[in-house]
Amino acid sequence: MPFLATSLRELTARITPRHILFAGWLLLFVYAFPGYMSTDSVVQLHQARTGVRTDWHPPLMALLWGYLDRIISGPVLMLVLQTTLFFVGVFKLLARAFTPRVAALVTCAVVLFPPVVTTMAVIWKDSQMAAFFVAGTAAALSPHRRWRVVGWLLLGAAAAMRHNAPVAILPLAIFIVWTSSSRSRLLRVAIGVLASLAVGIGAMAVNSALTKKREYPWYGSLALLDVAGTTRYSAPRSDAEMQHLLRDTGLVVTEDIHRRTKLAYQPRTWWWLSHGDGRIWDYPTTKTQRLAIRRAWIDVVTDDPGAYWYHRRRVFNEVLGISKEEPWSPVWWFFAESPEQAVGVGHNHSHSSYQRLLGEFFTERRNGPLFRVYWYFWLGWVLLGVAIWRRQALAVALLASGLAYELTYFFLAPSPDFRYSHWMIACVVGVGFAGTTRVATELARRRGSTA
């Protein structure tokens, strides 16, 4: 037994942080190989191959995917990119507070935590954004200038992945400038704000320049949902009033408009408002329709802001999982949404036993508390208070970034997709695991000193 214990200690000593990180990354990579995709992913891969990039999805992501797809066809290199950046970024941030071995172990715990790994396994803009965020923040904190430049470029890439991502950059930018500059506090904050604005504006400019076909997604999705939702909770209007309000918007119904709009509205999705036999509108395809929808949105929101607020609160409750409905795709482990999609992009794969085992394990728990966003949302505020009290600047920056990003969905969510909350969940889980490890380490040190 002493020999076995000695051999085990020697073997453990030979396991380096790189070995731990690679083992964790391999578990994720093999589970997700060669990359899970939904309809959004398939559309982006198609845009990457054709070069016809639209504003429904981030053009920069399609451009990047196009280059990688020419090297190895399909999503596998995108999977390598996002998982590697995420693993390395989380590790580098944790290594600022822990020894490399402890940082590697906590990194694996964070990345392989079910609500984090299930989104990171899919080729989504949300996964790419989170990977660019952590890797960019870690690189921007480097003492080496070239890595700082790379870090800001990665943060710019993160900002380009989602239209509301620039909001999440602000706390990170302030923290980066705060730790790397010796100027006055006010000036450091001002520089951080200006840097985040520059990154956000630059990301929008890049996406705009890369867009080949404009589809104006706000008008056909969120705007219609807000008009219907605000109408649902406002005072009844006659058909004449509704026809005047919704003139030129592509209104399909002509009778009992207010009641039928109320019946068609559901806070979980905008889709059926402009699709199907029970639709209220035809999907907007002309500039006249889009301008009319914008006018109608302004009119209904300003006429009854209380109804708009109540409608958005209901949508946000769905985002947080405060609902009797199931979470919206918290676990996605499919190579495409249909056989036709798989054939169309040449991504027709079958699951391994390992993938099926983990996929079924996660799926069985998708309706439990582990995948209810509100737990992480409220825990995030608690951890933020603790981090401020203990003056843990990096934890404050990450939590503020995740929570600020999540709050944008109060006004911007067109549906309650679980992946929208991935960045916030990753920040809360990362800070929570790091804090727990720090407390456990301190307790162990105290016990060792008193022994």
Residue 221 · residue 414 · CB < 8 Å: yes
Give the per-residue pLDDT at 15. Answer: 87
pLDDT in tens, 79-126: 999 999 999 999 999 999 999 999 999 999 999 999 999 999 999 999
Q: CA-to-CA distance for 414 and 218, rounded, in angstroms?
A: 9
- Tell me the DSSP string of 321-377: T-SSSPPBSS----S-SSHHHHHHTT------HHHHHHHHHHHHTTTSGGG-HHHHH
pLDDT number for residue 346: 85
- Read off the pTM: 0.94
Compute the distance between CA of residue 98 and CA of residue 215 in angstroms, rounded to an integer.
47
What residue type is 256 in one-letter code? D
Q: Are 214 and 55 in contact (CB under 8 A)?
A: yes
pLDDT confidence of residue 344: 85
The pLDDT score that the predictor gives to residue 7 is 57
Longest dimension (CA), the chain: 89
Q: Whole-angstrom Cα distance, residue 363 to residue 357? A: 10
SS3 299: helix
In b/e form, how buried is each residue of 282-300, taking b as 16+ CB within 10 angstroms?
A: eebeeeebbebbeebbeeb
pLDDT value of position 2? 59
d(CA 242, CA 240): 5
Taking the C-alpha atoms of residue 183 and residue 189, their distance in angstroms, rounded to an integer, is 10
* Nearest partner of 172 among 394, 421, 342, judged by Cα: 394
Structure confidence at residue 440 (pLDDT): 87
Q: From CA 92, how far away is CA 107, in angstroms rounded?
A: 9
Residues with Cβ within 8 Å of residue 110, at least 6 apart in sequence? 90, 94, 116, 426, 429, 430, 433
Which DSSP string do the residues of 224-292 spell out, in sequence order?
A: HHHHHHHHHTS----HHHHHHHTTTS-B---SSHHHHHHHH--TT-SGGGSSSTT-SBPPP-SHHHHHH
pLDDT of residue 132: 98
Give strand pairing partners of 122: 36
Buried b (16+ CB within 10 A) or exposed e, 305-325: eebbeebbebbbebbbbebee
Query: CA angle 64-70-76, nearest 5°?
Result: 70
* DSSP letter assigned to residue 49: H
Distance CA 101, CA 15 (A): 9
Which pLDDT score, from 0 to 100, does residue 6 have? 60
Which residues sit opposite 417 in a β-bridge? 328
Confidence at residue 444, expressed as pLDDT on a 0 to 100 scale = 76
pLDDT at site 1: 54
List the chain pLDDT tens, one digit each, 451 residues: 555 556 556 656 688 999 999 999 999 999 999 999 999 999 999 999 999 999 999 999 999 999 999 999 999 999 999 999 999 999 999 999 999 999 999 999 999 999 999 999 999 999 999 999 999 999 999 999 999 999 999 999 999 999 999 999 999 999 999 998 888 889 999 999 999 999 999 999 999 999 999 999 999 999 999 999 999 999 999 999 999 999 999 999 999 999 999 999 999 999 999 999 899 999 999 999 999 999 999 999 999 999 999 999 999 999 999 998 999 999 999 999 888 888 888 888 899 999 999 999 999 999 999 999 999 999 999 999 999 999 999 999 999 999 999 999 999 999 999 999 999 999 999 999 999 999 888 887 777 766 5
